Structure 1
Amino acid sequence: MEKTEYNTEEIILKSAITIFHKKGMAGARMQEIADEAGINKAMLHYYFRSKQLLFEAVFKKAFMQLAPQIHQVLNSQDSLFDKIENFAGKYISFVMENRFLPTFIIQELNNNPEFTNQFFSQAEFPKPTHFLLQIEEEIQKGTIRNVNPKQVLIDMFSLSVFPFVGAPLLQKITNSNEEEYNNLLIERKTHIASMLINSIKK
């Protein structure tokens, strides 16, 4: 692929992220994405024949950026508590730049199981084996309570994901404007870690 083609494709993907974030998958139009990218619709279709294919490309790109970061955090030589802090910080920072991603995963799981099953069967997921064993070791040492390691892993993901998936509801409940809610999300980087650590620490 020539450099100019690569640049055009990157511009399209970035423009698609912008429109998908504003309109969602259902509300986004290919013409809007083409306009955002500064190209005509015919050129957009040259690179991506349909909105679904473009959305899948955006999803794959974003997932492949996130997965290695999470894998690195879970399998580093850091202490357990440092890993929990690093996970919350990296995940929330990443999703704040790709807010469509958690909602898209849930939508695709429900609406396009064929694609998600195929993708997930091929994708390299973060492997939490070392992290789960580390929790077991800390339990044996007596530094943390006797907890189910998988529950800790689920807590880390769910507490980080839901504020994005449920953003419209939570923003309404907390009576927060967009700037205030963004500040709450940033604050959650330390809030989640502190809450989880305190919940398992003896």
Structure 2
Amino acid sequence: MAKTDNIQEPAVDTTEQRIFEAAREVFTQKGMDGAKMQEIADRAGINKALLHYYYRSKEKLYEMVARAIVGKMLPTIRQLLESEQAFEDKIRGFIDFYIDIIGRNPFIPLFVITEINKHPERFFETILPKDLPRPEVFFSQVEAEVAAGRIRPIAPQHLLVNMISMCIFPFV
């Protein structure tokens, strides 16, 4: 199945936007497996036939919604991790961004964790873009900070996972 990485939310105040918002609510509350097209149609204030006119299948609608959810975060995370800015500024910016975006979209962490646990292959192969943020610059900075004695010894991957975990913990 071909994958489009620049999925955008539909324009505001359209039937398509109402469907998207209804689907986002249902998918984030119930996941792909628990979502019903009839419930999405009811929440959007349309009939099921019109829903199927816009989105031929639940899978296509789910993919669009899930990509939009993940897409809210990845471009900025990429920019932060791959930038050459000072180490402390990078960490501060990363944490500020993560808490801000999740504070405005508190459903994201639980949705992502639940969907990865239920269907990791679908999430990693279909939802995530192929060009994920590359943390090598960040990892090199962590290693340099450890070598200079400015931070305690820690594996760069562990620091990144710890930062993400501490940011999302209050929301899950």
Q: Same fold (TM over 0.5)?
A: yes
Distance 1:122 1:87, change over 3 A: closer
Q: Which residue of 2 aligns with 1:81?
A: 88
> Distance in 1 between the 2:82 and 2:134 partners?
8
Q: Is 1:53 the equivalent of 2:90?
A: no
Q: Which residue of 2 aligns with 1:107?
A: 114
Residue 122 of structure 1, CA deviation: 4.9
Identify which of 21, 26, 34 aligns with 1:19.
Answer: 26
Q: Which residue of 1 aligns with 2:4?
A: none
Q: Is 1:138 the equivalent of 2:145?
A: yes
Q: Which runs of 4+ in 1 moved over 6 A?
A: none
Q: What's the CA shift string for 1:68-126, capped at 9, x where partnerless?
A: 11011112232212211211221122223333332232332332233124226753211
Q: Is the contact between residue 108 and residue 116 of structure 1 (CA under 8 Å) also seen in structure 2?
A: yes
Identity of aligned residues (%): 41
Q: Judging by fraction of residues, say which structure has more helix.
A: 1
List runs of 5+ in structure 2 lacking aligned partners.
1-9
Q: Is the contact between residue 99 and residue 164 of structure 1 (CA under 8 Å) also seen in structure 2?
A: yes
1:130-169 matches, within 5 Å, as 130-165=137-172
> Distance in 2 between the 1:114 and 1:74 partners?
25
TM-score with structure 2 setting the length: 0.76
> Distance in 1 between the 2:73 and 2:159 partners?
20
Amino acid at match of 1:61: A
Answer with 1 or 2: which has the greater Rg: 1
TM-score with structure 1 setting the length: 0.67
Q: Is the contact between residue 17 and residue 98 of structure 1 (CA under 8 Å) also seen in structure 2?
A: no
Q: Is the contact between residue 20 and residue 100 of structure 1 (CA under 8 Å) also seen in structure 2?
A: no
Q: Which residue of 1 aligns with 2:135?
A: 128
Q: Which residue of 2 aligns with 1:91?
A: 98
Amino acid at match of 1:24: K
Distance 1:153 1:137, change over 3 A: same
Q: Root-mean-square deviation (CA), in Å?
A: 2.5
> Distance in 1 between the 2:134 and 2:84 partners?
14
List runs of 5+ in structure 1 lacking aligned partners.
166-202
> Distance in 2 between the 1:137 and 1:161 partners?
27
